[in-house]
């Protein structure tokens, strides 16, 4: 059910023709942004522990940052539907990431680190949405799937390479140097961003109104029309359940390995993180091309891989089986990474609310992820890690069933636009 019926016409009469410089610039932005952001996450906790922070203080600043990122998704989407220059949003966001990294590296006191992490989390609410908006504005709706697949490939490659390099930097130099390296990556990122030509980013296409012309803001559907979009609400519910199951999988697996006194557990956890990223880098362009034939089959594959993976994790702690099972995580990551934005674009074409809808789905996804670790930890601490993984499998199966029975195909070329 696409909301386009209540908006202006949606025929994209002008074939997008972005320059090669703009497309290559977007490739580099995805690569370098993922690299800069990889300096945060686990490295923050390790660095702060090295600075003699208590676990309570580390947990507090990380939780506060998570909430800040969650609360900015909707305002970020609203802003991106309104503002013409998406490049300025990315430039400001990248600069804020660099500033946050420098603050953590140079002044690791509680109030400054809290400010830096909240700043970085708020920025995260903008950057992902802005990259998707730029992509849609550059290539248009018909080519968006392939472009998103390419974005995922470069982002995954950047994340894997940077995580490896930063691990070496932390080992041979210091954990402080990791954040200096993350800040330094923002300089080439800004250069790459400058290669994306502003004239190539169509204002109307970038917020879901492809036939808009002129310098004025494109017309937008009313907010209530968006919240009445049944398919969008169902899809958000599916993503909520998926993230509620998925987000706690790796932390729970890491705990099981440590408590089971499995040798080389740190290296195994690293492999569990890297394998899915490699699969995403390999599969994402194919998924983007294949999505032209239909979104729903690929989405079902991505969702169905999660309960299978959870059952494998419940069954064994054998490192080789767990690492092999992470191929399924790569499949899920590929499908969700490419199709989430693409389906939101399908469901909001012609409304001028593409970015707001992205922010809505991102918020629901973040809520599911936040609940995931808490609930799974409660189950695992009471009934054991196997029970925790079985609970994850049950939630993941509920997501598959909701998708199977209620979520329609959204690809407009299949004639399902209603």
End-to-end C-alpha distance for the chain, whole angstroms: 5
Which residues, 6 or more positions from 27, have their beta carbon under 8 angstroms from its beta carbon? 150, 154
pLDDT number for residue 263? 59
CB atoms within 10 A of CB 331: 23
Confidence category of residue 90, pLDDT binned at 50, 70, 90: very high
pLDDT at 50 over 90: no
Confidence category of residue 46, pLDDT binned at 50, 70, 90: confident
Confirm if 275 and 327 have CB atoms less than 8 A apart: yes
Coil, strand or helix at 7: coil
Q: Which two tokens stand for residue 267?
A: 């290296």
Which residues, 6 or more positions from 70, have their beta carbon under 8 angstroms from its beta carbon? 125, 363, 366, 367, 370
pLDDT at 167 over 70: yes
pLDDT at 12 over 70: no
Helices (H), 38-109: 42-50, 55-71, 73-82, 86-106
Of 96-105, 154-163, 265-274, 399-408, the poorest mean pLDDT is in 265-274
pLDDT number for residue 66? 83
Residue of higher predicted confidence among 369 and 238 = 238
pTM of the model: 0.86
Mean pLDDT, all residues of the chain: 86
Average pLDDT for 115-119: 92
How confident is the model over 239-262, as pLDDT tens digits?
999 999 998 888 787 777 766 665
C-alpha torsion 262→263→267→273, nearest 10: -10
pLDDT number for residue 265? 59
Average pLDDT for 49-56: 80
Residue of higher predicted confidence among 20 and 42 = 20
- Strands annotated E in 162-262: none
How confident is the model over 272-287, as pLDDT tens digits?
888 898 999 999 999 9
Of 27-41, 188-202, 302-316, the poorest mean pLDDT is in 27-41
pLDDT number for residue 136? 94
Of 306-315, 341-350, 373-382, the poorest mean pLDDT is in 373-382
**Integer Cα distance of 194 and 322 in angstroms:** 42
Residue of higher predicted confidence among 68 and 251 = 68
Confidence category of residue 388, pLDDT binned at 50, 70, 90: confident
Confirm if 130 and 359 have CB atoms less than 8 A apart: no
Average pLDDT for 84-91: 92
Q: Which of 285, 192, 200, 220 is nearest to 78 (CA)?
A: 220
Of 40-44, 218-222, 340-344, 378-382, the poorest mean pLDDT is in 40-44
pLDDT number for residue 151? 95
How confident is the model over 337-355, as pLDDT tens digits?
999 999 999 999 989 899 9
Average pLDDT for 202-230: 82
pLDDT at 234 over 50: yes
Confirm if 283 and 336 have CB atoms less than 8 A apart: no
Residue of higher predicted confidence among 4 and 354 = 354
pLDDT number for residue 258? 62
pLDDT at 415 over 60: no
Residue with tokens 């674009």: 345
pLDDT at 179 over 50: yes
Average pLDDT for 92-114: 93
């Amino acid at each position: 059910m696409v909301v386009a019926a209540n908006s202006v016409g949606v025929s994209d009469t002008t074939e997008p023709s972005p320059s090669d410089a703009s497309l290559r610039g977007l490739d580099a932005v995805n690569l370098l942004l993922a690299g800069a952001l990889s300096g945060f996450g686990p490295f923050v906790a390790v660095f702060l522990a090295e600075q003699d922070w208590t676990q309570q203080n580390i947990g507090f600043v990380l939780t506060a940052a998570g909430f800040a990122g969650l609360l900015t998704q909707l305002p970020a989407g609203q802003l991106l539907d309104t503002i013409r220059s998406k490049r300025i949003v990315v430039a400001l966001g990248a600069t804020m990431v660099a500033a946050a990294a420098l603050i953590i590296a140079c002044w690791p006191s509680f109030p400054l680190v809290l400010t830096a992490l909240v700043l970085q989390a708020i920025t995260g609410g903008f950057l992902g949405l802005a990259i998707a908006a730029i992509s849609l504005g550059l290539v248009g709706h018909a080519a968006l799937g392939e472009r998103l697949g390419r974005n995922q490939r470069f982002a995954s490659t950047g994340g894997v390479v940077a995580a490896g390099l930063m691990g070496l930097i932390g080992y041979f130099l210091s954990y402080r140097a990791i954040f200096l390296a993350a800040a330094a990556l923002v300089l080439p990122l800004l250069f790459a961003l400058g290669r994306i030509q502003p004239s190539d980013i169509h204002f109307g296409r970038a917020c879901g109104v492809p036939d808009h012309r002129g310098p004025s803001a494109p017309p937008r559907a009313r907010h209530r029309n968006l919240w009445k979009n049944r398919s969008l609400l169902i899809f958000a519910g599916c993503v909520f359940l998926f993230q509620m199951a998925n987000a706690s999988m790796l932390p729970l697996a890491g705990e099981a390995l440590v408590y089971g006194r499995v040798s080389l557990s740190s290296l195994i956890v690293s492999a569990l993180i890297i394998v899915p990223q490699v699969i995403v880098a390999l599969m994402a362009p194919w998924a983007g091309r294949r999505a032209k034939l239909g979104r729903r089959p690929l989405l079902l594959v991505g969702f169905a891989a999660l309960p299978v993976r959870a059952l494998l994790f419940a069954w064994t702690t054998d490192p080789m089986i767990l690492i092999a099972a992470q191929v399924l995580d790569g499949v899920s990551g590929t499908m969700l990474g490419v199709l989430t934005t693409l389906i939101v674009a399908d469901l909001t074409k012609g409304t001028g609310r593409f970015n707001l809808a992205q922010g809505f789905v991102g918020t629901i996804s973040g809520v599911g992820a936040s609940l995931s670790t808490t609930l799974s930890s409660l189950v695992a601490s009471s009934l054991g890690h196997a029970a925790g993984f079985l609970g994850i499998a049950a939630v993941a199966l509920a997501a598959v069933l909701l998708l199977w029975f209620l979520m329609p195909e959204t690809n407009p070329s299949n004639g399902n636009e209603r």
